[in-house]
Structure 1
Amino acid sequence: MQQTFHDEARMWRSPLLPDAELLTAEYFAQEFAPHWHEGFAIPVIQSGAQTYRYRGARCLAAVGCIAAINPGEVHTGERATDHGWAYRAFYPSVAWMQQLSADMAGTPMGIPWLPDGVIDDAEVAGHLAVAHRLLETAADPLAAENALTAGFALLLSRYARTRPVVQSISPDATRVELMKARLSENLDQPMSLSDLAREVGLSPFYAARLFSRSIGMPPHAWRNQLRLNRAQGLLRQGLSVTDIASMTGFADQSHFNRHFKRAFGVAPGRWRL
């Protein structure tokens, strides 16, 4: 039986990336007419390949590539293989990209223009794809925003025409302890990296780096471990795994089971026996 291909796309938004759209898409017949965006377009190719005309050249983006488009630049887009292509795309605003660049450098920065043509960097593409998936599931805002900030910071540090020189981290035990205290509160409630950083008067980028450098793991990982430690105590009390997953802030029982086994080597139901 001959395989058929079709177009499927979903445009959506996340409060963690304000004033922006995100797109999850598989395209076969789609041919984009010449167009431009007010902000950046950052598509990460997941399968197949896309070809597009950009700044007078024909570009080809395959799996693991980023077909980055700067604001205001006219471009097209169509399949480059018989099976089409799939990508996860970010459309961040100029203001958001410029603010992240300034947060990285610790000083005001201009617009972080990206190079003309395809960025072939599987590591950066992988980080951005993970962030996109976390934003789409919306299961853990803290993990999603951390991945988003780290992924785009890596992109800008490697490929912005004026690359921000990342400011050094100064020890700050007081702020780290304040972040730990905030992370320990209301474990069943979601928290974003921006919320945490605002509590201590830092940018999300700097707050995540300070915490990770001081503690040895990013804020979302530390909070998840605290949830698991609390869950152990609840298991000793004989509570059900389902109730514990809800009480400690995991998205569902399978999410709880997966993290518990990864940390302790057994599923919570078997740990209690």
Structure 2
Amino acid sequence: MQTKFWMLPELDSLELFRATAIRYSYARHSHASYSIGLIEAGVGGNYYRGSTYLAPPGSIILMNPEEAHTGYSAEEQPLSYRMLYANITVVQQIARDLQIQDFPHFKDAVVQDRTLAKHLLSLHQELERSPDQLEYQSRFVNVLSKILTHYADVKVPSFRPQKEHRAVQLVKTYLQDRFSSNISLEQLTNLTGLNRSYLIRVFCQSVGMPPYTYLNQVRIEKAKQLLAQGMSVAEVAIAVGMSDQSHLTRHFKRIVGITPGQYRQMSTSFKTD
């Protein structure tokens, strides 16, 4: 069995786990936290609430705190899956941000939702590799909000976000002025007085992208300026707030379409000519 376990103190000690197993089974147990999982390959099985559930690839697993269950690979082929264990406090906080008054309780143990599964996989991968607090905190809030809205047995009030022009401008200016810092979502909520879910929604509505995407855009524009001046890619990465050269390259290519090195070479050769 191949496994990896890690924690994120910045997300209220969120626990994360991924594994690939063949013919493996867990004894009956429960968790103090909410358990949210995704089957990547193989078929997972579990006995939960008096019934047996099978989860093929792409299935999302949702289990409530303190509810006993088993878990096992249901076929001969390897079972690959990812788990996210969110404590009750952080889930309740996101629920309050959504104006949910009830205690969040998942209705179904296994759900099929391709779009959400894609977001959950992307989130889990980002939580494993990304050093950007704003990005992984925002993605976490977004995915948990979708799960609570669609699959928790709660009443979710419907409301339209207001324009919040002042708050949006405050955030844009803050990100422009502090692009080289590892900014957190909490800093933006303290700045605006808005809760996390609402802030992300109003910013997206106004700007067309979440705050972390806007921050990356600001960083890439600054990186282009520095690269054109002849600064090395490694130096530029640190100067604009990226953790290293590969981190800069990943975002730069996603936005500009070429690598920072290629952009630097083109910019400096053009000036020479």
TM-score, normalised to structure 1, is 0.91
- Percentage of matched positions with identical amino acids: 33
Map 1:1-273 onto structure 2 (within 5 A).
Answer: 7-105=1-99, 109-271=101-263, 272=267, 273=269
What does residue 4 of structure 1 align with? none
Rounded Cα–Cα distance in structure 1 between residues aligned with 2:235 and 2:157: 47
Rounded Cα–Cα distance in structure 2 between residues aligned with 1:9 and 1:38: 21
Tell me which stretches of 4 or more aligned residues in structure 1 moved more than 4 Å. Answer: none
Coordinate RMSD, CA, aligned: 1.7
Which amino acid in structure 2 is aligned with residue 119 of structure 1?
V
Q: CA deviation at 1:237?
A: 1.8
Which amino acid in structure 2 is aligned with residue 36 of structure 1?
S
Indicate if the aligned counterparts of 2:45 and 2:72 stay in contact, CA closer than 8 A. Answer: yes
Rounded Cα–Cα distance in structure 1 between residues aligned with 2:130 and 2:248: 16
Rounded Cα–Cα distance in structure 2 between residues aligned with 1:111 and 1:85: 32
Indicate if the aligned counterparts of 1:50 and 1:84 stay in contact, CA closer than 8 A. Answer: no
Rounded Cα–Cα distance in structure 1 between residues aligned with 2:251 and 2:109: 40
Rounded Cα–Cα distance in structure 1 between residues aligned with 2:5 and 2:251: 30
Q: CA deviation at 1:214?
A: 1.0
Which amino acid in structure 1 is aligned with residue 113 of structure 2?
D
Q: Over residues 23-66 of structure 1, what are the superposed CA-to-partner deviations in whole Å (9 max), with x where a residue is unaligned?
A: 12222243111111222111111111111101111100111111
Is there any run of 5+ residues in structure 1 with no aligned partner, and where? 1-6
Q: CA deviation at 1:75?
A: 0.6
